Amino acid sequence: MKEIIYLDHAAATPISKGVLAAMQPYFSERFFNPSSPYLPAVGVRQDYERAKDDIAQAIGAKGSELIITAGATESINLAFQIIPQCCHDIVFSAPSAWSKRSDPRSIPMPKGGDPTSWSAPLASSALKMKQKKDVVRTDCCTITPKALTRSPSFTSRAEIDQLAIQQPAVVLTSAIEHPAVLEAAKRCGNYDTVAVNGRGLVDLDDLKAKLTDSIVLISVQLVNNELGTIQPISDIAHLVKNERANRLKAGNTTPLYLHCDASQGFGLLDVNVARLGVDMLTLNSGKVYGPKQVGALYVGRQVKLDPLIVGGGQEQGMRAGTQNVAGVVGFAKAVKDAKKHVLGEQKRLGELKTALKHDLAANISFVEFLGDPKKQLNSFVPITLPGLDAERLIFILEESGVLVATGSACAASKGTKSHVLKAIGLTDKQIDGSLRLTMGKLNTPANTKKAAELIIQAVNTECERLGL
């Protein structure tokens, strides 16, 4: 059987044997619902809470400050609930005659007739009006056009969209965030992106310039999922602290929160919420050799969120649904193992990375290494081979037993060019030739060297085919 060499640990990690063993009882003899009142279920509930405490302790938090979710994407979307007016309201400064209407059915219909023919948000704006003084709210995205002082009769959806565009941003995020963050920001209607340099580091001067007094949420990942670049989160937290002080002096009561997606860095870096200075932090079990579809959101005590999922009131009312005890116990075991071996694993991966880069550079004259070499996770070796088709290389390498990726797994599944690589200024030729090599527990000096040889062989084969 052909040996498989896995170089895509940034996409997924295998559950370790210890994690699987820790989870096993909760699929069989300890299957009880932790919300039930009898003793066996109470015992399971205690196991669940202890597991949460273990996860929280790893980031310097308390179990009560964690909300367990079904993965990082849900955690990120939950964090964006800090802006309920963005995700649920349209706010119009309305004329007094309009605002006095208490019955939504008395509001004039927009041109075009039946609101059910509109998109759901606009239908909401016609049918779910709520009165509060001279402000009309609806369940939808943020639009706060103070200039709108006429009857709510609009010619088209484009007119509404234009009004939204004219509003000041309430969310600030980097241009290279994971799609989960960027899509959540888009749902809020009004957001801005911070530029990054050619190595993928957030431009702090640009962030400071765009941190206007309307911004409510800043979301920046700890480690970029395509480049491995480690972002200066504590420096961003310092800017947030100064902005809060300035707002207080100016009498501006607009709150400001900092969220960080630590999916990639957690388990390989020292992650502590106090030292980072974050208000919310996203964690992902599937990236630290724990079970997939298990995540967590750290929420500081000063943060008040609206739940995404309602029902039975689990997770202190923030995430309804029967608790995933086996998943959380497995997550906790994975976190404890990672914490115990973090320094040794950093050193080991650093040595593998150095060797892999040396072999590639010595045998491929045109290889370019991406990311910041001084501020990059040791598991990442992103490269570009301008002039070659990375997707062809992936298939060739798979035939040889080497599994690699182009950019993020999410971008690859959509068949789109990486927005991350565009943001750092790569040309189309560089983007088309980019590969993301990410190492982990499945890699050894021997199979990493073998992978390098097979990559070099594949590149040479393609160069000969193309006459390069």
* Among 87, 140, 410, 463, the one annotated catalytic: 410
How big is the CA angle at 397 (ends 393 and 402), to the nearest 5 degrees?
A: 135
**What percent helix, strand, coil does the chain show, rounded to 5?**
45, 15, 40
Radius of gyration for the alpha carbons in the chain, expressed in angstroms and rounded: 25
- Which residue(s) pair with 433 in the sheet? none
Residues 6+ apart with CB under 8 A from 192: 169, 171, 172, 173, 210
- State the DSSP string of 337-403: HHHHHHHHHHHHHHHHHHHHHHHHHHH-TT-EE-S-TTSB-TTEEEEE-TTS-HHHHHHHHHHHTEE
173 φ, ψ to 5°?
-145, 165
CB atoms within 10 A of CB 460: 13
- Reduced 3-state DSSP string for 332-355: HHHHHHHHHHHHHHHHHHHHHHHH
Cα–Cα distance list, 320 to 35, 131, 243 (Å): 12, 29, 35
Q: Give the C-alpha separation, 188 to 260, whole Å.
A: 18
141 is an active site residue: no
- Ordered alpha helix ranges (H), 211-285: 233-250, 273-276
Amino acid in the structure at residue 337: D
The crossing angle, in degrees rounded to 10, of helices 179-187 and 72-79 is 30
Amino acid at 198: G
Tell me the C-alpha distance between 351 and 51, whole Å.
33
Annotated catalytic residues are 410
